Amino acid sequence: MPLFRSPLADVLHRAGAVMTQRDGWEVAAHFGSPAGELAVCAQAVGLADHSFLGKLELRGYPEAVDQVVSYLTDCQLEPNEVMRIEGVRWCSASPDRVFALCDPPALFALSEGMHDAVRRTPGVLLTDETEELAALALLGPAAPSVVAALGAWNLETVALPRPSFASVSLDGLPAFLLEESVSRALVLVEREFTERLWDVLERVGRQFGLSCVGADAAERFAVIERRLERRRAGDRSRPALA
């Protein structure tokens, strides 16, 4: 069975990536030092190719899109809002356009469920954009600085990024920006603009210590983030000492 290849495959090879196979995709495992790349994510910002993510798009009348999302999640999704439910990130670009992002193993089941909901709902279209949209991840405490340097938002007027999703222009290139936390952002971009945007992110991010990182470091960083979040949640749940 042939492997899926990222729009950035040639760029990754030229950058010295050690490639591997995961979930039917050829991905960059690392660029020579997984431990060093994890340190970059922890201290500055790593740039990773996450184009392997499943990307399903709903477009149509706002009422119909809202009905499908509500049927699938039992929740209402406001414009530019992000919800994470059972491993799926539901991202609203606008009232008439919603993306569902998931890991590759979950794509088939998610697609089946969404197709079933769409068949029940006139006025909405479902498309699989997995191979048409690349996904570039910024991982680390300097991720918001890179986003701000590209003009997507202002560090001086926004204290911290909140989970949000929006259509943006990054150095003149059309993209969608998912701001997940103070240390994680994801940029979706059409295949034809992918290499140009990767170059832009490398150039702009250099001043913030940006470096390319592979899947090994990105996955380990995600584990560390989850542990820290659970720890913070536990601290918030403890009663304050008198």
Which CATH number is 54-128 given? 3.30.70.1400
Q: Please check the confidence at residue 154 and state whether its pLDDT lies above 80.
A: no
Q: Comparing 101-110, 135-144, 150-159, which segment has the lowest mean pLDDT?
A: 150-159
Give pLDDT, residue 20: 96
**Residue ranges per domain, the chain?**
4-52+132-233, 54-128
The mean pLDDT value of the chain amounts to: 91
Q: Which superfamily does CATH assign the domain made up of 4-52+132-233 to?
A: Probable tRNA modification gtpase trme; domain 1 (3.30.1360.120)
CA distance 140 to 212: 12
pLDDT of residue 65: 98
Are 17 and 9 in contact by the 8 Å Cβ rule? The answer is: no
pLDDT tens readout for residues 97-139: 999 999 999 999 999 999 999 999 999 999 999 999 999 999 9
Instruction: Inform me whether the pLDDT recorded for 241 exceeds 60.
Output: no
pLDDT, mean of residues 82-107: 96
pLDDT tens for each residue of 14-26: 999 999 999 999 9
Lowest mean pLDDT of 42-46, 51-55, 220-224, 236-240, name the range.
Answer: 236-240
Lowest mean pLDDT among 23-37, 132-146, 153-167: 153-167
Tens of pLDDT, residues 45-62? 999 999 999 999 999 999
> What long-range pairs does 91-97 form, CB within 8 A, spacing at least 24?
91/165, 91/176, 91/178, 92/165, 93/165, 93/166, 93/167, 93/176, 94/167, 95/62, 95/65, 95/66, 96/59, 96/60, 96/61, 96/62, 96/65, 97/57, 97/58, 97/59, 97/65
pLDDT on residue 163: 74
What is the pLDDT at residue 151? 84
Q: How confident is the model at residue 152 (pLDDT cuts 50, 70, 90)?
A: confident
Q: Residue 184 pLDDT more than 70? A: yes
Mean pLDDT of 87-91: 96
Three-class secondary structure of residue 207 per DSSP = helix
